[in-house]
């Protein structure tokens, strides 16, 4: 459940990483949480056994000292009111992040998606992707857009996207508690992969689509009854990530909450679409 006390903020000194600072500061202030700024110093691939005999190739102590200086000054003013710890570990970034999160029982990881450039809609940074896959705590990811985000003023509208699997009930309860703590309006969203007929083709007119939507409404009503909620329900037909993007845009959502679960299971369910949803969402995403 929410009430975060330890937030992990992986740092790579990029502009996308810097742009996240207001979000991290706001989340930390809301929960009076400590923020750990973690930088992973990855040894270049050229570092092979015996490289130390050739000091001109690499000066690791100097590199470490330089990174410490960068970390000490990085977003210092943005986080001046937040309790922070700044750490550097050697190793592959995704491994360092997931290992630290597990060992220190981190409550939330906050990181950008990266993957910017001409093909940014189709890419997710490898460090982010591996962190999503390997970490067991919730992961907050920034909106996957090139434009600089507007100053963050808190969450007002939050969408909880469910796939109607067995994980939907705990996810909805988690989202309800989070939205309550944030003072945000929570809406329930479900995308129906088969709910949009192919162009020029429909099964028995509109009856099949109507049947799918009616079944979804019934299942969502049952879910809300079990969760003890009475939220506005949004239904989208078609490809899942596109449906989430459309609903988030139309409802001016500040955040989307999705279930991450075991991402390799059950093709077509929400958790198998995690990467696509994060890539296409117009706002940040928390995957639980």
Per-residue confidence (pLDDT) for residue 262, from 0 to 100: 52
Per-residue confidence (pLDDT) for residue 149, from 0 to 100: 62
Per-residue confidence (pLDDT) for residue 123, from 0 to 100: 43
Per-residue confidence (pLDDT) for residue 116, from 0 to 100: 44
In sequence order, which ranges of the chain are alpha helices (DSSP H)?
Answer: 15-19, 21-31, 60-73, 93-103, 126-134, 168-182, 207-227, 240-250, 274-280
Write out pLDDT tens, residues 11-34: 999 888 898 999 999 999 999 999
CATH of the domain spanning 154-288: 3.40.50.620
Q: Which residues pair with 35 in a beta bridge?
A: 7, 84
Mean pLDDT along residues 204-209? 70
Domain segments of the chain: what residues?
A: 1-142, 154-288
Whole-number Cα distances in Å, 117 to 126, 273, 276: 15, 22, 17
Whether 154-288 and 1-142 are alike in CATH topology: the answer is yes
Mean pLDDT along residues 115-140? 71
Write out pLDDT tens, residues 71-105: 999 999 999 999 999 999 999 999 999 999 999 99
Per-residue confidence (pLDDT) for residue 209, from 0 to 100: 81
Instruction: Say how far residue 103 (Cα) sits from the centre of its chain.
Output: 20
Strand order of the β-sheet with 255-258 is 84-90, 34-41, 6-10, 108-111, 139-141, 285-287, 255-258, 157-161, 185-192, 232-237
Averaged pLDDT score across all residues of the chain: 85
Mean pLDDT along residues 51-77? 79
The pTM assigned to this predicted structure is: 0.85
CATH of the domain spanning 1-142: 3.40.50.620
Please give the share of the chain, as a percent, with pLDDT higher than 70. 80
């Amino acid at each position: 459940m929410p009430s975060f006390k330890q937030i992990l903020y992986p740092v790579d000194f990029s502009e996308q990483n810097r742009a996240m600072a207001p979000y991290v500061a706001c989340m930390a202030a809301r929960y009076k949480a400590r923020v750990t700024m973690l930088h992973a110093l990855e040894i270049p691939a050229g570092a092979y056994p015996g490289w130390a005999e050739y000091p001109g190739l690499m000066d690791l102590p100097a590199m470490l000292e330089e990174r410490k200086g960068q970390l000490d000054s990085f977003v210092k003013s943005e986080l001046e009111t937040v309790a922070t710890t700044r750490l550097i570990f050697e190793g592959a970034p995704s491994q360092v992040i997931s290992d630290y999160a597990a060992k220190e029982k981190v409550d939330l990881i906050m990181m950008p998606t990266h993957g910017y450039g001409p093909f940014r809609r189709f890419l997710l940074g490898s460090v982010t992707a591996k962190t999503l896959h390997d970490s067991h705590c919730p992961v907050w990811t920034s909106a996957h857009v090139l434009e600089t985000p507007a100053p963050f003023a808190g969450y007002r509208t939050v969408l909880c996207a469910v796939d109607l699997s067995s994980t939907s009930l705990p996810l909805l309860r988690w989202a309800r508690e989070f939205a309550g703590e944030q003072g945000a309006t929570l809406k329930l969203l479900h995308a129906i992969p088969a709910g949009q007929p192919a162009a020029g083709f429909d099964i028995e007119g509109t009856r099949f689509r109507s049947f799918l939507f009616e079944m979804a409404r019934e299942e969502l009503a049952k879910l809300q009854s079990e969760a003890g909620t009475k939220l506005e329900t949004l239904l989208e037909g078609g490809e899942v990530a596109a449906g989430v993007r459309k609903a988030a845009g139309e409802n001016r959502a500040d955040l989307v909450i999705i279930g991450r679960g075991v991402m390799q299971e059950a093709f077509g369910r929400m958790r198998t679409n995690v990467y696509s949803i994060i890539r296409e969402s117009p706002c940040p995403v928390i995957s639980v």
